[in-house]
């Protein structure tokens, strides 16, 4: 099997699974219970929170556990607005955000909020100058992803943070799901108020994520019925999931220094092959982008056919993000970058992990070269 769909989800590390099973068996008590079993579970939860906080270089009290990146994004955006609804109704994001951010803002727009969806350039980058021009006295929230989930474009989060630091009324939310552990980002130096991460993007388990909330910043909970997670999120805590997430992120950061050069080499191998292949267009920036995400288009082909044919060979890639892949529509992100509809409708995403090898990439490229001529007569427009 050759798995190149790591931006959709990664394969959990064996050590992570063992951590989850061990904690589930030994510390099964409800972390909110007052008896010994509950207190022991609470200690594991707090230790997991402390480990992640240390790795992120933030305070433990700022790390909230959630069920996934989508929930974290929703809590950050909606919870922030519910708390500050009287301070202004202008919000800023981009046209190239993940669905769990973009769709939230579209919904808020329908509810009467004024939302500025900033354009991106041909490389998918937002302009800091345009962002500054969009700010008004009514602006209360800016939400911009660190690494684009389809193209790997890295947004200038540090520069945006420096700008927004001059506007203390504005909260700055960053979706860091695709960048975590692969593209360095300092929460404090970038003056980030809210940040989202998801465990299954770095070999943790699905169903566990975190939301960083800057000290002193208040959110209105979306879930009610308990005072868990410092009162921000009611519900019985997923202690084993939190422990597994801490384990996964620690392993990921330990592997990164030695693994990143190999990932860079494999990205260059993919891009070199794409650029010399007739009929294939590279959509990701060749040199300025996250090392693990490469987006290409094959005009004249249906991407879902290519994905399925490759899957028959036990080679796995995707079309758009996993959250949008079943919509069978042109990529909204690529359209926002000014790509023609034919390119946006024929896009494929290849996403690497630290476990990807040179041999896997070579075998995949050979299979792709052999596959395209065999299906051209069937799907060419």
Give the residue numbers marked as catalytic: 323
Per the document, the length of the chain is 381
Residue from 293, 195, 292 nearest 252 by CA: 292
286, 274, 287: which is closest to 348 by C-alpha? 274
Per DSSP, 12 falls in state P
What phi, psi does 282 have (nearest 5°)? Answer: -85, 125
Give the separation between CA 250 and CA 254, rounded to whole angstroms: 6
Q: Characterize the bridge pairing of strands 171-175 and 194-198.
A: parallel
CA 33 to chain centre: 33
Q: What is the dihedral of CA 365, 370, 374, 379, to 10 degrees?
A: 10
CA distance 265 to 258: 12
- As beta bridge partners, residue 293 has 351
Q: Which residues of 101-119 are buried (b: 16+ CB within 10 A; e: fewer)?
A: bbbbbeebeeeebebbbbe
The answer to whether the Cα torsion of 258, 264, 265, 269 is positive or negative is positive
Give the whole-angstrom CA distance, residue 307 versus residue 198: 25
Give residues with Cβ within 8 angstroms of 257, minimum separation 6: none
Burial class of 122 by CB neighbour count within 10 A (0 to 12, 13 to 18, 19+): exposed
Nearest to 324 by CA among 145, 150, 152, 179: 150
């Amino acid at each position: 099997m050759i798995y190149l769909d790591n931006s959709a989800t990664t394969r959990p590390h064996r050590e992570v699974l063992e951590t989850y099973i061990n904690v589930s068996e030994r510390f099964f008590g409800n972390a909110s219970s007052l008896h010994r079993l509950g207190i022991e579970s609470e200690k594991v939860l707090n230790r997991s929170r402390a480990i992640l906080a240390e790795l992120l270089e933030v305070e433990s009290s700022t790390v909230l556990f959630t069920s996934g990146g989508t929930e974290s994004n929703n809590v950050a955006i909606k919870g922030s607005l519910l708390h500050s609804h009287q301070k202004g109704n202008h919000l800023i994001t981009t046209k190239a955000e993940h669905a769990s951010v973009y769709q939230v803002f579209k919904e808020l727009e329908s509810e009467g909020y004024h939302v500025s969806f900033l354009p991106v350039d041909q490389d998918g980058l937002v302009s800091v100058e345009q962002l500054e021009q969009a700010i008004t006295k009514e602006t209360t929230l800016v939400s911009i992803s660190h690494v684009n989930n389809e193209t790997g474009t890295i947004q200038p989060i540090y520069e945006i943070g420096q700008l927004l630091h001059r506007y203390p009324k504005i909260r700055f939310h960053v979706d860091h799901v695709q960048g975590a552990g692969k593209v360095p980002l300092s929460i404090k130096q970038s003056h980030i108020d809210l940040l989202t991460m998801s465990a299954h993007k770095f070999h943790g388990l699905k169903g566990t994520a975190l939301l960083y909330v800057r000290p002193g910043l208040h959110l209105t909970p979306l879930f009610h019925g308990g005072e868990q997670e410092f009162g921000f999120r009611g519900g019985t805590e997923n202690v084993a999931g939190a422990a597994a997430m801490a384990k996964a992120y620690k392993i990921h950061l330990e592997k990164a220094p030695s693994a990143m050069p190999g990932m860079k080499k494999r990205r260059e191998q993919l891009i070199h092959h794409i650029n010399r292949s007739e009929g294939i267009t590279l959509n990701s920036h060749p040199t300025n982008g996250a090392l693990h995400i490469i987006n290409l288009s094959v005009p004249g082909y249906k991407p879902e056919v290519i994905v399925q044919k490759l899957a028959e060979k036990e080679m796995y890639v995707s079309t758009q993000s996993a959250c949008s892949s079943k919509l069978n529509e042109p990529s909204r992100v690529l359209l926002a970058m000014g790509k023609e509809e034919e390119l946006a409708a024929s896009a494929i995403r290849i996403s690497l992990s630290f476990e990807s090898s040179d041999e896997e990439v070579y075998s995949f490229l050979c299979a792709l070269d052999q596959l395209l001529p065999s299906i051209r007569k069937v799907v060419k427009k």
